[in-house]
Amino acid sequence: MANAKLNFKTPLLPLSWVNIAGQGKLKMNKKDNGDPANYNYVATAIYPDEAAMKADKAIFDKFWRENKPAGCTKQNYTMFKPVMKDVLGTDGKPTYDEDDAKIKTPTGEYSLTAKTITHWPKESRVNVVKVLRANGNPLQLGDKIIGEGSIGVLHGSLGINAFGGNEGLAFYLEAVQLKKFVEYVGDVEVHADDLGDEDLGDLDDGIDAADVSNQDGPSI
């Protein structure tokens, strides 16, 4: 049942690696040649620990069991990935193993990434990832980019990747709802605006964007 879909949104979580405008993020093993087919729009939610992501992982696993391609048993990759950090030496610099690869260790957090295409191929038009306020109303960021320290909810849908040899799940990104916005400005994160006190409002676009303005994010 490769065409099966399930609406899904994350809890209110810290957001990371958000790239939802412009050229997008280069896909793995693709050439950086400007071809829209080689790029995705992406956003990642960070679960503070295994207990926090347990309920959502159960939803993903159930969807897979009920809709996996015929003949498949296990997924070929995991959607909830352990967040890793560099192991530092006494000099405060990263350490390396005998193959000159950085030595890393789990932080205890888990990441979940949602993706979508940057252009609709048949229509040759740009795909738009919606950005919503904490109350569900549209938020126009202009040229600003969502940076580290932002907190919000990722909206989208689950689907099945039935590509032979790489079968698994996909989380398709449709909207980013922000409780806290921190602008990305290169190596420095500035201009933090808490959007939690906005007036309530509804956005009739098919996205179930519950009001998160009175919700507290996880301790970070």
Taking only the tens place, the pLDDT of each residue in 89-123 is 999 999 999 999 999 999 999 999 999 999 988 76
pLDDT digits (tens, 9 = 90+) for 161-214: 988 888 999 999 999 999 999 998 876 555 566 666 554 344 345 567 777 777
Distance CA 116, CA 122 (A): 15
Q: Which amino acid is at 105?
A: T
In-domain check, residue 81: yes
Q: What is the CATH number of the domain that holds 29?
A: 2.40.50.140
Predicted pLDDT of residue 194: 65
In-domain check, residue 207: no
DSSP secondary structure string for all residues of 22-81:
TT-EEPTT---SS-GGGEEEEEEEEESSHHHHHHHHHHHHHHHHHHPPTT--S-SS-SEE
Predicted pLDDT of residue 190: 53
In-domain check, residue 200: no
In-domain check, residue 129: yes
- HSE, CB side, 13 Å, CA atoms: give it for residue 67: 20
Domain that residue 149 falls in: 6-87+94-194
In-domain check, residue 206: no
Predicted pLDDT of residue 131: 97
Distance CA 50, CA 41 (A): 26
Domain count within the chain: 1
In-domain check, residue 66: yes
In-domain check, residue 204: no
Distance CA 6, CA 171 (A): 9
In-domain check, residue 114: yes
Q: What pTM was computed for the model?
A: 0.84
